[in-house]
Amino acid sequence: MMTISPTRRLERLKTRYLDGGLDRRRFLALTAAACTTSGLAARWIGPALAAAKEVRFDGWGGVVQEAIDRYAFTPYTAKTGVRVVQGNFGKESEILNKVRVSRPGEYQIIHSLGLDNYKRYVDAGFNAEINEANIPNMALVIEAMITPYRKITPKLSAVPFDYGTTGIAYNTEIIAPEEAKAKGCKLLIDPAYEQRISGLNDMQTRVWYGALLTGQDPNAIVDIDAVWEMVRTQTRLAKKFWNSGAELMDLLAKGEVAVTDAWSGRVAALQAQGAPIGYIDPPHSLGWMEDMLVLKGAPLAECEELINFMLEPATAIAVAEGQNYPSSLDPKKVKMTEKIEALPAFDPTGSMASLTFADPIYWGQHIDGWTKQWDRIRKGA
């Protein structure tokens, strides 16, 4: 039997990878194994990955990722020849857990949610440092969105890309707009809608609304026991808790629930389809920013080039219209379309003063303990 040399085996792996016959995870695993047995790791893996000419992206799936793929990734690949290999997740904890057990470079760009998650990646040492000089379109991004990231890492690892709110969505054939405005987040614990209530299966959202329902500041909770009791009340009244934007849209579109906390962009997508869904942002409802987070081991030049492309006004505006979330570009510097200006949560001032964000330091101190408590309550404790 003819023995294939290690170098030849590696070349074949590279050819299969570039031709699409292997995904990145399998390519890395087989390459690492071949290099381990042949002693070629130091001088072969890096150049091989550099030659691969692709960037790995993981996002939220559904209409959001479809818009990014159509209006950003497809034209980027056509222009540069660099492929964008995509994965998706329903919760940030899913992708964070995958990153924890992966090799550096296996995951590269994450469409990450919020400053508290940014701090989690940073604290775990998973973040890379980007060269802002290679992303000149960052000059167009709302400064009020960038500043909180610099407070965590003066040298950035992520660039804000879009934003939205977690407000209250309701079926207008069941709940009148006047009732929704009058009751606000109290709709989430209204016995009149028992078993027609839903919400996100997420500790922060549950605690945030528990705080609002007990008259507390979600970023400085004084009586957490009262919050948990309010969370239990909603759990008893709820039909179910949803786990992804696609599931949220399905529950509302099919009329399975009358009211739920919801992501503003997913509601806007339903409204555009003609669904009888209303949306309100009660005072201090949860505002959030999403960013393009670059992880350690990623090909920085390609990642920076891709992010800069995504921040081109024409690209960012097309994506914003497609995914129904406002762009991070400053409306004082870049003219937005009427559709974007009409989106829920859009801030025409570029100050972000109208939105309430989670304090990453405060929430970081409580995330583990509160997540365990939410899991217990969700299971009936």
CATH, residue 279: 3.40.190.10
pLDDT at residue number 37: 54
Domain membership of residue 246 (yes or no) is yes
User: Going by C-beta distance under 8 Å and a sequence separation of 6 or more, which residues neighbour residue 185?
Assistant: 168, 209, 212, 213, 261, 282, 285
Question: Virtual CA dihedral for 238, 244, 247, 251, nearest 10 degrees?
Answer: 40
* Same-domain check for residues 237 and 281: yes
Domain membership of residue 142 (yes or no) is yes
* Same-domain check for residues 265 and 345: no
* Same-domain check for residues 151 and 74: yes
Instruction: Please name the residue ranges forming H helices in the chain.
Output: 6-18, 24-38, 41-52, 62-68, 74-80, 92-100, 114-123, 143-152, 177-183, 203-213, 224-237, 245-253, 264-272, 300-310, 313-323, 338-341, 360-378
**Nearest alpha carbon to residue 233 among 260, 200, 206:** 206
Handedness of CA 205, 206, 207, 210 (dihedral sign): positive
* Same-domain check for residues 216 and 159: no
Beta bridge partner(s), residue 241: 199
Q: How far apart are CA 363 and CA 359, in angstroms?
A: 6
* Same-domain check for residues 240 and 301: no
- pLDDT tens digits, residue range 57-78? 999 998 899 999 999 999 999 9
| Ordered DSSP codes for 278-330 | EEE--TT-EEEEEEEEEBTTS-HHHHHHHHHHHTSHHHHHHHHHHHTS-BSB-
Domain membership of residue 330 (yes or no) is yes
* Same-domain check for residues 278 and 178: yes
Instruction: Write the DSSP symbol of residue 8.
Output: H
Domain membership of residue 226 (yes or no) is yes
Q: Are 257 and 197 in contact (CB under 8 A)?
A: yes
pTM: 0.83
- The three-class DSSP label of residue 21 is coil
One digit per residue, the tens of pLDDT, for the chain of length 381 reads 455 676 777 677 766 655 555 655 666 667 666 665 555 554 555 555 555 589 999 999 988 999 999 999 999 999 999 999 999 998 899 999 999 999 999 999 999 998 999 999 999 999 999 999 999 999 999 999 999 999 999 999 999 999 999 999 999 999 999 999 999 999 999 999 999 999 999 999 999 999 999 999 999 999 999 999 999 999 999 999 999 999 999 999 999 999 999 999 999 999 999 999 999 999 999 999 999 999 999 999 999 999 999 999 999 999 999 999 999 999 999 999 999 999 989 999 999 998 999 999 999 999 999 999 999 999 987
* Same-domain check for residues 179 and 226: yes
Beta bridge partner(s), residue 58: 87, 110
pLDDT at residue number 38: 53
* Same-domain check for residues 147 and 199: no
Please state the domain count of the chain: 3
* Same-domain check for residues 247 and 344: no
pLDDT at residue number 176: 98
* Same-domain check for residues 121 and 191: no
Q: State the residue range of the domain holding 16.
A: 6-49
| Ordered DSSP codes for 65-93 | HHHHIIIIIHHHHHHH--EEEEEE-SSHH
Q: Which long-range contacts (CB under 8 A, 24 or more apart) does 336-342 make?
A: none
* Same-domain check for residues 321 and 367: no
Domain membership of residue 1 (yes or no) is no
Domain membership of residue 325 (yes or no) is yes
Per-residue CA distances from 243 to 150, 227, 246, 247, 248 (Å): 31, 21, 8, 7, 8
* Same-domain check for residues 28 and 40: yes
pLDDT at residue number 99: 97
